[in-house]
Amino acid sequence: MTKNAAAERICDGRVCVVTGAGRGIGRSHALGLAGHGARVVVNDVGGERDGSGADSLLANQIVEEIRSGGGEAMANTDDISTWDGAQRLVEGALEKYGRIDVVVNNAGIIRDRMLVNMSEEDWDAVIAVHLKGTFCVTRHVAQHWRNRAKEGEENDARIINTTSGSGLYGNVGQSNYAAAKAAIAAFTQVVAEELARYGVTANAIAPVALTRMTADLGIPEEITDLLDPGWITPVVVWLASPLSAEVTGQVFEASGQTLAVAEGWRRGPQAAPTTDPVVVGDLVPTLLAQARPRTTMADL
Local structure of 236: helix, strand or coil: helix
97 is catalytic: no
Task: Please give the Cα distance from 161 to 242 (Å, whole number).
Answer: 17
Give me the DSSP letters along 42-107: EE-----TTS----THHHHHHHHHHHHTT-EEEEE---TTSHHHHHHHHHHHHHHHS---EEEE--
Task: Please give the Cα distance from 186 to 192 (Å, whole number).
Answer: 10
Q: For residue 225, count other CB atoms closer than 10 A to its CB.
A: 11
User: Do 33 and 57 touch, CB atoms closer than 8 A?
Assistant: no
Task: Please give the Cα distance from 296 to 300 (Å, whole number).
Answer: 7
Task: Please give the Cα distance from 137 to 204 (Å, whole number).
Answer: 15
Residue 267: burial class (beta carbons within 10 Å; 0-12, 13-18, 19+): exposed
The residue type of 228 is D
Task: Please give the Cα distance from 140 to 223 (Å, whole number).
Answer: 39
Beta strands at 102-105 and 251-254: parallel, antiparallel or unpaired: unpaired
Active site residue: 97, 169, 177, 198, which one? 177
Using the 8-state DSSP alphabet, how is residue 2 labeled?
-
Helix (H) or strand (E) holding 160: strand 157-162
Please give the positions annotated as active site: 177
